[in-house]
Amino acid sequence: MSFKGKAGLAVVALGLAAGSVFGAGSANAVPLDQWGAMAVDADWSNYGRSVDYPSRAEAEAAALEQCGADGCAIEVAWVNGCLALVENEQYIAWGKGANRAEAEREAYLALTEGTPQNLLVNLGSSQMAGGTVIETVCTTNAS
């Protein structure tokens, strides 16, 4: 093999080695957008949720399937963030946000829509507002 041939082979080998080192992380990288959705029936006795789907349509289909009851419908869909469900004796509410804290804060604020007397105390602790977190789910890439 000539010197040019050996040099060319070395450049190709170096390129392949560098590509395998620098490209290794991208095989496990999270896609840019991760979708979630929640479906509920009319009286909120059944619900289904999905998380980490590449499209809104896929997330919604999975949530409807998990809900599994007649009359389930999509209540909310979100991308790259979290969904929180909170409840008190009178109401169930949800909130979404870029992270767990934002989603839970929004859910507690929404809880006041069903129980307006909690509006002022809701600015304090969640226990004072009379609500508890049922569930918080986040996409893999939530901040």
Report H helices in the chain.
3-22, 56-67, 100-114
Domain ranges across the chain:
31-79, 80-143
Q: Is the CB of residue 133 less than 8 Å from the CB of residue 86?
A: yes
Chain center to CA of 117: 30
Mean pLDDT by 10 residues, the chain (143 residues): 44 42 50 92 93 98 95 97 93 95 95 63 48 95 91
pLDDT value of position 112: 82
Give residue 62's pLDDT.
Answer: 98
pLDDT at 113: 77
Structure tokens at 20: 């395998």
Which residues sit opposite 49 in a β-bridge? 38
Please report the pLDDT score of residue 2 as a whole number. 52
Structure tokens at 13: 């080998």
Distances (CA, A) of 142 to 35, 57, 85, 132: 10, 19, 17, 22
Predicted pLDDT of residue 18: 44
The whole-number pLDDT of residue 129 equals 52
